[in-house]
Structure 1
Amino acid sequence: MQKTILLIFAFVLFLNYSFAQSQEQIPVRMAMVGLSHGHSPWIFNRKDKTDVDLVGIYEPNRELSANYTKRYGLDPKLFYTDLDKMLEETSPEAVLAFGSIFDHLEAVEKAAPRGIHVMVEKPLTYSLEQALKMENLAKKHQIHLLTNFETSWYASTEKTYQLFQDTDKFGEIRKAVFHHGHKGPKEIGVGKEFLDWLTDPIQNGGGALIDFGCYGANIMTYLMKGRRPVSVTAVTNTFKPEIYPKVDDEATIILDYGDAQAIIQASWNWPFDRKDMEVYGETGYVISEDKSRMRLKTWGQDEERIEVSPKDLGVFVDPFTYFAKVIRGEIKMEKHSLYSLSNNMIVVEILDAARKSAASKQTVFL
């Protein structure tokens, strides 16, 4: 009898192991919804990876589709100009939204009722009204809804979070300053399709405020473990109206948490590209110069320079691999983590309030 039980137990373990192995080996079927975002080439430059199978691409702009077909040697049969048809015929497990920010809502509206998971390019959306619709759809249909930021791949972002868990060394966070931006999308030469919607107040919801203000809001929400600020104050300018007549190209956002502040500097006017931040605690600071180089200082100690790597900290540098592992259940996102829906709902709330504050020239209380 005991031998029979042991055999059954061993067989069950074998089945579980075999199922786990088969799940790991089966690529996640993903489809793209839009190609106009300047980051859309990322997925075509990972041909050595086998965790994702690209099964379809929805792009209504036939000229843009033709350009991608030629540039990356893609099968023309991958392309669709009808989103519903693409989803029905290709049966993806997940979609990647690489169109305008305004179009993120449609991607979720089409995918969620079909049980298809969604990852959008940052930010989740620009309107709190749209975000609430997306959140309701994701929860109702029990899908994952992720937002991808380049700074989520930065080892320095995760290291900063980890260092401030040690409140005995650095104290509680009191101030953070975020610098994100570049010379401007036209100045750095983004594609026409990207520039057209990036500088449109409807399709993008704003200019630098939305494009780069979202980074600081996302990271600060992570550092504050999902806390919402008490108030948002913002000032926007358009220093280059001849280039950006419809949207802002300069934005400063102040977040007040009652016991901490964040200053988010988002710009299309930096003389060079920037993605760096400073976080100050009660007894020390952590300054991230870029994705890997950092400076640390605490009371009574000399400043220390360190360099961190994604591998050492368990940071994923490929958002598609991360998304695939979330879908397969190999990763469980923390509620306030950088990709998570709860974090990015707060990001949208901050951006929405910042736009209203800049327009009214008044502080907006959440």
Structure 2
Amino acid sequence: MKKIGIAVLGAGRWGKHLIRIFREHPDANLVGVVDPHSERLASVQERFVLNGVVLATDWESLRAHPEIEAVAIATPAVTHYHLIADALRQGYHVLAEKPLTLNVAECLELYHLAEQQNRQLMVDHTYLFHPAVKRGREVVQSGYLGELRYGYAARTHLGPVRSDVDAMWDLAIHDIAIFNNWLEQLPVQVQATGRVWLPRGGEMGRDGEDKGDKGDKGDKGDSIATSYSQFPIPNSQFPDNQQQITNNKQQTTNNKQQPLADLVQVTLTYASGFQAFIHLCWLNPDKQRRLTIVGEQGSLIFNEMDTQAPLVVQRGYLEQQDNQFTPAGQSCEVLAIESTPPLELVCDRFLHNICTAQPSNLSSGWVGAQLVKILCCLSQSLQLGGHPITLD
């Protein structure tokens, strides 16, 4: 089978993982790497011995390369819309880092553009490919937990702190994606409250958190506030390009005028009545990556920090004697999962979808748009002091 020619845009912390995986994948031909920082290009050249791979500091110099069939985009989210749209119009398949964009309308436009071009648009929501998440969905959907009662998650750490978005935009998308996936539902109402403690006298730099191949990741390149000029797109491709850039910069300015929450508490309510509560904080030395669904027959727990047993079902019930309740029947079942790193599964699925001309139902552009819509509604709730927002 002919190898698929791929260019990776962005050689930051997450981009390096993509470069390594596509460089080693038997069905991929890494054609080029683009990053505005020449020192990053030099670093990946030395680390991965990229002989025969074109290294460029701007997308324009590589975008018409005859061997490119697909691109993997690991650049700041503010650049996603223009880079993805340009790649799709060039006839390339696209794997984009999350979030797809920062705007629901742009997400939907890209989704429809991919359909019109008959090209794959896949979003790297890595957790959705995590073997523990896949197994957890099977458990939930099998009825093994009985009637579902509620869910909760905690995603906390002590930095890094971002200057462009709050803790919710930085962290929440992972847990929202998992709850949606396990329940096979979308929330019908969302709510968010937050607290601000850190002083923001000026811009605070943040280059992203390296999570390896385990799935959890922050920004993959520079800060989202990075200038468009670092990944320039020909204006002729987009008649309204300059106006869009101006609008996005204005939105960034507006966001900076609002305090960025260091702690955010999220509530997701689903049509079934199920509620999920998510605790998000980047100012907590107790690092947690834990998500639980509680059912009448037990609790399913995904604890990424527990490398020996990341997925378990805990059982137990209360026996009533007179007016007292006593715990009984307590046990813990460790669930076996595969060991393949989830990002490798993401890249493999992307190549498979290109070869079979079948879109990814698990992490398509449509799924990416749904998650961005939820985040935008949560932001609205946060700005309104926790007022519940109903999703259309």
CA 1:156/1:364 → structure 2, altered by over 3 Å: closer, same or farther? Answer: same
| Corresponding residue of 1:294 | 311
| CA displacement at 1:67 relative to structure 2 | 3.7
**Per-residue displacement from partner, 1:120-150 (whole Å, max 9, x unpaired)?**
1222223213212222222222222212234
Q: Distance in 2 between matches of 1:316 and 1:97?
A: 14
Relative contact order: is structure 1 or structure 2 higher (C-alpha 8 Å, sep ≥ 6)? 2
- Find the partner of 2:188 among 223, 226, 230: 230
CA 1:84/1:45 → structure 2, altered by over 3 Å: closer, same or farther? Answer: closer
More strand by share: 2
Q: Quick check: 2:7–2:71 contact (8 Å CA) kept in 1?
A: yes
| Corresponding residue of 2:154 | 179
Runs of 5+ unmatched residues, structure 2: 205-255, 318-328
Q: Distance in 2 between matches of 1:69 and 1:248?
A: 38
**TM-score of the superposed pair, with normalisation by structure 1:** 0.78
| Corresponding residue of 2:176 | 217
| Corresponding residue of 1:160 | 136
CA 1:97/1:162 → structure 2, altered by over 3 Å: closer, same or farther? Answer: same
**Per-residue displacement from partner, 1:306-328 (whole Å, max 9, x unpaired)?**
1422259x977442222111211
**TM-score of the superposed pair, with normalisation by structure 2:** 0.73
Q: Aligned pair 1:270/2:284, yes or no?
A: yes
| Corresponding residue of 2:370 | 346
Which range moved further: 41-50 or 252-261? 41-50
| Corresponding residue of 1:310 | 338
| CA displacement at 1:171 relative to structure 2 | 2.5
Q: Quick check: 1:52–1:321 contact (8 Å CA) kept in 2?
A: no
| Corresponding residue of 1:327 | 354
| CA displacement at 1:180 relative to structure 2 | 2.3
Q: Percent identity?
A: 21
| CA displacement at 1:295 relative to structure 2 | 2.5
Where 1:240 maps in the other structure, the secondary structure is: coil
Q: How does 1:1-366 map to 2 (within 5 A)?
A: 22=1, 26-36=2-12, 38-46=13-21, 48-75=24-51, 78-167=54-143, 169-185=144-160, 199-200=163-164, 206-225=165-184, 227-242=185-200, 246=256, 247-258=260-271, 259-290=273-304, 292-298=309-315, 301-310=329-338, 317-329=344-356, 333=360, 335=361, 337=362, 339-361=363-385, 362-366=387-391
| CA displacement at 1:42 relative to structure 2 | 0.7
Where 2:84 maps in the other structure, the secondary structure is: helix
| Corresponding residue of 1:13 | none
CA 1:268/1:235 → structure 2, altered by over 3 Å: closer, same or farther? Answer: same
Q: Quick check: 1:209–1:236 contact (8 Å CA) kept in 2?
A: no
Q: Distance in 2 between matches of 1:152 and 1:57?
A: 26
CA 1:241/1:28 → structure 2, altered by over 3 Å: closer, same or farther? Answer: farther
Q: Distance in 2 between matches of 1:357 and 1:309?
A: 37
Q: Distance in 2 between matches of 1:330 and 1:182?
A: 40
CA 1:29/1:365 → structure 2, altered by over 3 Å: closer, same or farther? Answer: same
| CA displacement at 1:350 relative to structure 2 | 0.8
Where 1:151 maps in the other structure, the secondary structure is: helix
| CA displacement at 1:80 relative to structure 2 | 2.4
Cα RMSD (Å):
2.8
Matched to 2:278, the amino acid is I
**Per-residue displacement from partner, 1:25-78 (whole Å, max 9, x unpaired)?**
x32211112234x21111343454322211112223334333433444435961
| CA displacement at 1:240 relative to structure 2 | 2.2
Where 2:187 maps in the other structure, the secondary structure is: coil
Q: Distance in 2 between matches of 1:107 and 1:328?
A: 23
Q: Distance in 2 between matches of 1:220 and 1:120?
A: 21
CA 1:44/1:332 → structure 2, altered by over 3 Å: closer, same or farther? Answer: closer
Q: Quick check: 1:126–1:210 contact (8 Å CA) kept in 2?
A: no
Q: Quick check: 2:140–2:183 contact (8 Å CA) kept in 1?
A: no
Q: Distance in 1 between matches of 2:27 and 2:160?
A: 32
Where 2:356 maps in the other structure, the secondary structure is: coil
Q: Quick check: 1:293–1:308 contact (8 Å CA) kept in 2?
A: no
CA 1:173/1:244 → structure 2, altered by over 3 Å: closer, same or farther? Answer: farther
Q: Quick check: 2:31–2:53 contact (8 Å CA) kept in 1?
A: no
Which range moved further: 262-271 or 74-83? 74-83
